[in-house]
Structures are given as C-alpha cells and as structure tokens.
C-alpha cells in the first residue's frame, strides 16, 4: 500500500512511518518540523516539509495514496492554553484541509490520531467511547472538534474515517522540550541525572500509559480493518497507574534513588483516567503486549539520550 503520514517526523509519526516502510509499504511523510526531526526517518521514506493547511501541497502528496494517517498536530496541553488560536488553526483547520484534499484526490481512508485527553473528568472508569467528553483544555477541544469534522465530512463525501483516541503513549525518542515535556521522558531524565522529580497535586492521580509499539500495532491494523468506518476507538494499556507508582517503577528500572518534591498547590490534572479497550479488542484484535515496567526498560535501552547514564550489564562467562 501507499501511505501518507502527516506529522510523520514526530515521536509517534516517525515510529509509524518506519514500521510501515519495514513492512514493505511505500511511505510518504509531511511534517512542518515544528516538533519533529527528519533524521528519525528511514532514507527510503519520501519526506516533504510543509504545512498541513496547504491544500495544493496536499493534492500533490495524495496522488495514488491508499490511506492517510493524520498525526499532524500541536500537542502540548499547556501551550494550547496560551495559544488556543494556533491549536484551532493546525489541529482543526488542518484536519478540514486534509479532508477536502482527500475528497479531491479520491483517497479512500483516513486514520486520525485523537486523544484520550478529551475525556477530561469522568464519573465512571474505565472510560468508554460512548461516554460524554469533558475537554478541559483547547488541545482537548481541538481533538474532539477534529473528530467531528473528519467523521461528518467523511459521511458527506463517502470517505472512510477512523479515529483512535490514544491515551498516554510513551517510548524511545519521545520529544523532551525544555518546558512542558511529557511525563515519562521527563521523569526518566531527572532520575538518571540526579535531578528532583516534582509531583503536582497528591501524586495519586492516575493515567493510562501505553507503550509505542502497542500503539503502532493498533494504527497498522486500523488501515485495513473491516467494520471500523466512522469508528471511535480507545487505544491504551487498559491499566490504571498512579503518578507515584510511575515514579516507583522508574526507580526500579533505573536503579536510582529518586528525590521527590511534592507541590500540592499546583493541580495535577484530572484525578483518574484509564481506557476501556474492549472495543479495540473486538474491532482491531488489539491486545497490548508491553507492561509499564518493560516499556520503561525498553525506552531506556533504545533511546540514545539515556544510554550514557545506564550502567552496562555484566558480561557473562
């Protein structure tokens, strides 16, 4: 098959593009490099730097494409609070532009990476796809809005659409910006370098952490699965982990004593969040294979940024 991966130089997009290429597919990538790195991609992948809102550019890239993976987005919750207009332009406007270009070029299916963040505060857990979202940031609103646009436009123009609500994905080479870095690479770096880990709120708030390889499996299956048109599907581990338990697991896999600082005055987000993944099991035969502890270990071993801090394993005789 021929795939276009928008946002394909980012953490998840580059891992997906490289996986598709390894499976023998033809892969094209569009990325504006605002949060991506071209060097992450295999040389055989056709790369174009550009804006997801550029419809003439999309026309040129969509020729003979069988399926689009739409990952291009602004992804920081904190930054979205400061710059909601930019998040609306890229995350919502970009999705609409892509759908228009797909209509014009006859592409059959789009798989959209939405987010578990749009659920917000929920009364009952694990959260199901039929539960009402309560987005609490412009980022979450933009993902929910993009879902509605993609499915509505797909219905109007006969395009197949699938939205995967991905929870807290992590793994090697995840972006580690100076401010508002994702929790797992930030905690790993702080543990390995002797820094302090700050817990906001009680530290008892929970999240659903899912390893990148498991997410890729769901994405790959979504391109060809039957009975997923107009689908909204949770992709997570299905396991609820508190931030304090995450720190304990990081201490275990790094072998480091961690200095914890509690900051109860700053909220730590929604108290609890975990995905019901039964729909993914039914429609995608999705079954996460990587435990949190194993995923953390693989992240350490496969991420070059962390290797200098890891003691080599003793050589067996």
Which residues are catalytically annotated? 139
Q: What are phi and psi of 240, to 5 degrees?
A: -95, 125
Q: Please, are residues 195 and 313 in contact by the beta-carbon 8 Å criterion?
A: no
Q: Please, are residues 232 and 114 in contact by the beta-carbon 8 Å criterion?
A: yes
Integer CA distances (angstroms), 117 to 20, 26, 53, 121, 168, in order = 27, 32, 24, 9, 9
Q: Please, are residues 142 and 76 in contact by the beta-carbon 8 Å criterion?
A: no
Q: Please, are residues 206 and 247 in contact by the beta-carbon 8 Å criterion?
A: no
Q: Please, are residues 230 and 155 in contact by the beta-carbon 8 Å criterion?
A: yes
Q: Exposed (0-12), middle (13-18) or buried (19+): which is 178, by Cβ within 10 Å?
A: exposed
Q: Please, are residues 112 and 162 in contact by the beta-carbon 8 Å criterion?
A: yes
Q: Please, are residues 169 and 215 in contact by the beta-carbon 8 Å criterion?
A: yes
Cis omega before residue 126 (within 30°)? yes
26: its two tokens:
């033809």
């Amino acid at each position: 098959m021929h795939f276009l991966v928008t946002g394909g130089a980012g953490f998840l997009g580059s891992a997906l593009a490289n996986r598709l290429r390894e499976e023998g597919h033809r892969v094209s990538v569009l990325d504006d490099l605002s949060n991506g790195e071209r060097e992450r991609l295999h040389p055989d992948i056709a790369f174009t730097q550009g804006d997801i809102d550029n419809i003439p550019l999309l026309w040129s890239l969509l020729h003979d494409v069988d399926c689009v993976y739409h990952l291009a987005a602004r992804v920081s919750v904190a930054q979205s609070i400061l710059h909601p207009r930019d998040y609306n332009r890229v995350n919502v406007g970009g999705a609409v532009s892509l759908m228009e270009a797909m209509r014009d070029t006859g592409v059959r299916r789009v798989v959209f990476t939405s987010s578990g963040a749009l659920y917000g505060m929920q009364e009952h857990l694990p959260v199901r796809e039929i539960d009402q979202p309560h987005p609490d940031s412009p980022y979450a609103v933009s993902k929910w809005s993009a879902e509605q646009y993609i499915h509505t436009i797909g219905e109007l123009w006969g395009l197949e659409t699938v939205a995967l609500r991905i929870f807290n994905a992590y793994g090697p080479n995840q972006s580690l910006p100076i401010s508002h870095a994702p929790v797992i690479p930030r905690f790993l770096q702080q543990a390995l370098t002797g820094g302090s880990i700050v817990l906001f709120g009680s530290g008892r708030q929970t999240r659903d952490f899912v390893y990148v390889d498991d997410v890729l499996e769901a994405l790959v299956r979504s391109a060809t699965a039957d009975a997923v048109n107009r689908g909204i599907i949770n992709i997570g581990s299905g396991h609820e982990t508190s931030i304090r338990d995450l720190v304990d697991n990081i201490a275990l896999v790094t072998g480091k004593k961690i200095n914890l600082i509690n900051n109860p005055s700053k909220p730590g987000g929604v108290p609890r969040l975990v995905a019901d993944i039964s729909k993914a099991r039914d429609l995608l035969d999705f079954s996460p294979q990587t435990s949190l502890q194993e995923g953390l270990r693989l992240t350490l071993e496969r991420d070059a940024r962390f290797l200098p801090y890891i003691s080599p394993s003793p050589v067996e005789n």
